[in-house]
Structure 1
């Protein structure tokens, strides 16, 4: 029987792990509990690669080696298992996982992505590689709404791969865009990976979401830039759409009125409304005109609101308040009070002796403070009292919009002018499609992320809002049926149970590993190498990258992050920054042959003539872009750390 290449690779990797464990035990002068802990780690990885359930493998191995560490004391072993399970159950952050997953499954089952992809590829029809660009943008939006790599890659393989192949796109470009875009859900918030990492490493999920925002946009932008450049240089790889594929049907009233689709929309609608007749109701024309002018109304509303904020006058309380600590309010002129109005309390206890006759004495007022406050007080008394109209208000006449407000207004005016110049009747139909597909999802995502990032809600509360928003979107699109709701609830329960059991197994395994001294042994080994911060980060990321071939990201986070995170303080690495690097790295592992999970998700729904080797070949350029993104994030950490530092000083 012929064995596939990926199976050979798995067998070889398992053999290397087992051989390394045997060599480690053989070379050790004394086999300690720490060596047994490392042996447990190797056995867990081999068992998972053989196909055993990850959560129960972690629990079983953890309990067995804990029993050995406690010298076969079953009571202590069971106590440790109960305490580890209870610690996971008491973690409030994990409540957000089923809610975010439920939101994603509702959006997926409601078929909202099909309309989104159609409207985006028509809106980007004149961009080189428009179908691939629309696929990446759709994947980014869908990944933000779901965060589940398998669901995004599978659904986009069904929606986007056939149109791209029919349009003449190469298999490599099509497969690379779908798999790379589908993996964006690992990084772009609300990512389940970031929640799991935050709960494992003890890092704020809110700060992780804020930190991952710009790296996610940077990675998606690099993907789109690559597709546009390749499509421009090699049109055969991503040919432009034909006129038939860019065709946008006009509504029946416009067809009846013999309206040219390339005519400008706003003047044409105004002319139709004035003229009337021709079978076009004025109410329908007014509605279309309102949709066309929607960006203008939005811009005016934002400009007025920002004007009110920028010119708002803060009231200043001029009422005399209580005296500050150490001050004495003047009660009137007094010859005995010092010039500055401060009276020193009579001294008690030790006092300076009086100066003798003929001795040197300080000049009068030399020991007193400078008299500027007295002059200020005198001028304040001689000044006329403030008028009642201006009492409590300062700077009324000087408040005017800032230069940034005028600049924003100019940019908005230019953008609106360009919008009205290019808006014809065909583009108006595309804009209406975007209003019903792209913007509702965008508002839902921004509401969820904005409430988290700006501290208006915890991740759990925002996840509840997102789940309710997905539910309402499915109702609004008339796609919510009992069967779809049942499927969403079932899949959510299945995914959430998997994650929670993984956490319980990971907690037991980590406790056993620490109890055996494995963590201490690893720390001594790493510190004994005398690595610099850069060398440690490179070594850790290489290990995570290799582990991403045979293991899922959940297994990598819950098994290996408890080993890496305690080492970060020794090298001065921020756990938040390390988590962003890990999230970017695991996307690379998802796209790297021979065990690239995204490739197998796509192969399951691809046409028969699309081979795994073609999918792997399409992944390689996007994997190189991900490596570039990791390098950029390391060289410029502010890409990920600037927003958390601004929002959470």
Structure 2
């Protein structure tokens, strides 16, 4: 069987429009992204090159899935699944009372602190937002916090897993862009905590400018025994974070090895706490299988599609198009950020990374820019997409556990100030690249 369509005669511009137009149509009819990308890739390679070209695509897919670092993804997802089912997050939230209570808005601030620790333990956002939606949101509403502020803190704080190492977004970017994941983690450390600091500063400024947004601080005397009990809830999570990130930053373990250390640490914590059971392990494993299966299939489809597009000369076409926009690298990067922002409103971050980074990263290198810095910038952009309407996943995660009187419209309205803070962080990273130092 020979090629049925001469894409070279049609031209790469019209072919690009045809390819991505077909993708949009299939996505609009409800087909999953993984199947859409795989179907479009197979259709175009069979029509344009015949069955003999298929091994070119399968070799690309094999290169993607056989990377040893990819093992860390199911490990970190398993950590998150076990955290979902254990009481570690609840005890961690209660333990934050030891450092809260003395300032107005303390519960909102401790929610952000808990978010950072949970993000440093698991690296994904879905379970974290649901946990905080069940733990922190009802408590803030009961205490009389402004509803919009409470919703925003839970969604924005719960999304910090995108930026705070060991972020799975950074891992997927590193695999796609072929850059050191250890360098990415180091570079993302300051920007991640900078964003968390922005959230804390925003909460404190709002509640002190408008005291009705949060109840006055109440300091209740706490017996020593209760303090010791609360402290126990803080020790195990902190130890897991120290061992995981400390082993990576200290050069003791690779990211993959550190992920295994993290799983062992969380598993040991559940045993110490008396929460471990075979049912607990089985349910955590099944949730991990479901999540990682989705990531792998999106990866297979996106890798195949990019391979076909590259075969057609598409990556050279996009590269010349992007670099022709301006001689100023900052303008080119801003255009990339705009494209990623638009895609973030419709596609999953995994698909965005795997579809765009093989095209964008070579352009970034051609412009003489640092691909590690660009990876951190990409993750910060994905933070914005997690909160932005119409399909910001953070809002939908929270809606699944929020009180019935809180609508999706209420949630998106509450997220506007936090989206502005994320855009500010993107602007600072663009203006001062040294923030992402490694």
Q: Tell me how far apart the structure 1 counterparts of residues 207 and 349 of structure 2 sit (CA, whole Å).
A: 32
Q: Does 1:58 align with 2:37?
A: yes
What's the RMSD between the two structures over aligned residues?
1.9
Deviations, residues 159-178 of structure 1 (Å, cap 9, x unaligned): 11111111111110000000
Assess if the C-alpha contact under 8 Å between 2:170 and 2:185 holds in 1.
Answer: yes
Classify the secondary structure of the residue corresponding to 1:189: coil
Aligned equivalents of 1:433, 1:194: Cα separation in 2: 35
Deviation at 1:90, TM superposition (A): 2.1
Match of 1:185 in 2: 161
Distance (whole Å) between structure 2 residues aligned to residue 442 and residue 45 of structure 1: 44
* Partner-residue secondary structure (3-state), 2:213: coil
Cα deviation 1:585-607 (Å, max 9, x = unaligned): 11011112232211111111111
**1:134 Cα deviation from its structure 2 partner:** 1.0
What is aligned with 1:21? none
Counterparts of 1:515-594 in structure 2 under 5 Å? Answer: 515-594=311-390
1:47: Cα distance to partner?
2.4
Cα distance in 2 for residues equivalent to 1:530 and 1:537: 10
Classify 1:566/1:41 alpha carbon distance in 2 versus 1 (closer, same or farther; 3 Å): farther
Question: Is 1:500 aligned to residue 304 of structure 2?
Answer: no
Aligned counterpart for 1:448 among listed residues 235, 244, 249: 244
45-54 or 186-195, larger mean C-alpha shift: 45-54
> Secondary structure at the residue paired with 2:211?
coil
How far the C-alpha of 1:46 sits from its partner, in A, is 4.0
Secondary structure of 1:551's counterpart equals coil
Residue correspondence of structure 1 range 250-329 to structure 2 within 5 A? 250=223
Task: Report deviation, 1:116.
Answer: 1.0
Give the Å deviation of 1:141. 1.0
Q: Using a 3 Å threshold, how does the CA distance of structure 1 residues 433 and 632 change in structure 2: closer, same or farther? A: farther
* Deviation at residue 238 of structure 1 after TM alignment: 1.4
Correspondences of 1:99-138 after superposition (within 5 Å): 99-138=75-114
Structure 1 residues 435 and 593: alpha-carbon distance in aligned structure 2, compared to 1, 3 A threshold: same
Aligned to 2:192: 216
C-alpha distance in 1, partners of 2:343/2:262? 33
Partner of 1:75: 52
The alpha-carbon deviation at position 517 of structure 1 amounts to 1.5
Q: Which runs of 4+ in 1 moved over 4 A?
A: none
> Unaligned 5+ residue runs, structure 2?
1-7
> Unpaired runs of 5+ in structure 1?
1-28, 251-424, 645-649
* Structure-2 residue corresponding to 1:31: 10
1:13-40 deviation per Cα after TM superposition (whole angstroms, max 9, x unaligned): xxxxxxxxxxxxxxxx962145313421
- TM-score of the pair, normalised by structure 1: 0.64
1:614 aligns with one of 401, 410, 413:
410
Q: Residue by residue, what CA displacement relative to the aligned partner does 1:286-312 show, whole Å, maximum 9, x if unpaired?
A: xxxxxxxxxxxxxxxxxxxxxxxxxxx
> Secondary structure at the residue paired with 2:346?
coil
C-alpha contact 1:69 1:515 (8 A) present in aligned 2: no
1:156 lines up with 2:132 in the alignment: yes
Asked if structure 2 preserves the Cα contact closer than 8 Å seen for 1:62 and 1:512, the reply is: yes
1:454 shift after superposition:
2.3
Count of aligned pairs: 432
Task: Give the corresponding residue for 2:262.
Answer: 466
1:197 equivalent among 168, 173, 180:
173
Instruction: Determine the structure 2 residue equivalent to 1:165.
Output: 141
Larger Rg over CA atoms: 1
CA distance in 2, matches of 1:459, 1:45: 35
Instruction: Tell me whether 1:41 sits opposite 2:16 in the alignment.
Output: no
Question: Counterpart in 2 of 1:476?
Answer: 272
Higher relative CO (Cα under 8 Å, sequence separation at least 6) belongs to: 1
1:485-528 CA deviation, whole Å, 9 max, x = no partner?
11101111111222122222122111101011211211222222
Aligned: 1:601 with 2:397: yes
